[in-house]
Amino acid sequence: MKKTFKRYRLFLIMLGLYGVLYFVEQNLFIASTTKAYNSMIEMVLVLPPVFILLGLLDVWVKRETMVKAMGNDSGLMGILLAFFLGSAAAGPLYAAFPVALTLLRKGSSFKNVLIMIGAWSTTKIPLLLFEAASMGLTFTVTRFLINIFGILGIAFISEKVLGHKELDEIHERAIQLEI
């Protein structure tokens, strides 16, 4: 019981503060409750398909295949595949993290996982089309190129700074993590 309380203490503190908000500022309480409800509905609609696809990925794609396609020695093919997975993905950024965990468990390199998350957050194809229509093609291409170099820079620098020991530890924690 004590371990459970310790684990959820921040949540319980926030819940208590939220209860106080009800008595102090009811309009703000109602507005935040509405936003929280809408966010929960969005998550309920987005996450089940993501988890179904992750289950299929986990069952259908062998670890050896993932290591070859996106592992440490995958080279340019792994980078391009990571960009494609992130850019073609649907859903908000929080849906990318279970995908990233599955990729790490299957043997994808940390660099390629970071590239996938970066692409998911900034280079989605529908976003690029909307942006080109509303902001112009020059702006979209410029932002896209800056994002590509930024994503690659972050991924390569992160991998170099962390080193082999830390990267191995990240992979081990991903494998051992209970979902």
More confident residue, 69 or 30: 30
How confident is the model at residue 156, as a pLDDT? Answer: 94
- What are the DSSP E strand ranges found in the chain? none
Triad 42, 92, 84: Cα angle to 5°: 145
Is the model's pLDDT at 175 over the cut of 90? no
Cα separation, 68 vs 60, in Å, equals 15
Cα separation, 19 vs 9, in Å, equals 15
**Dihedral of alpha carbons 98, 124, 114, 77, sign:** positive
Specify whether the backbone of 153 is left (phi greater than 0), alpha (psi in -120 to 50) or beta: alpha
More confident residue, 52 or 34: 34
Average of per-residue pLDDT values in the chain = 88
pTM, two decimals, is 0.76
For the residues 89-109, what does the mean pLDDT come to?
87
* Burial degree of 43 (CB within 10 A; 0-12, 13-18, 19+): middle
For the residues 23-30, what does the mean pLDDT come to?
90
Is the model's pLDDT at 63 over the cut of 80? no
Is the model's pLDDT at 126 over the cut of 90? no
Read off the pLDDT of residues 76-96 as tens digits, 9 standing for 90 and up: 999 999 999 899 887 788 888
What is the distance, to the nearest Å, from the Cα of residue 9 to the centroid of all Cα atoms in its chain? 25
* 3 state SS for 147-164: HHHHHHHHHHHHHHHHHH
Cα separation, 9 vs 23, in Å, equals 22
For the residues 133-154, what does the mean pLDDT come to?
95
DSSP 107: T
Query: Distances from the Cα of 91 to the Cαs of 36, 72, 83, 100, 128, in angstroms?
Result: 18, 27, 16, 14, 15
3-state secondary structure of 124: coil
Contact yes or no for 42/53 (Cβ under 8 A) = no
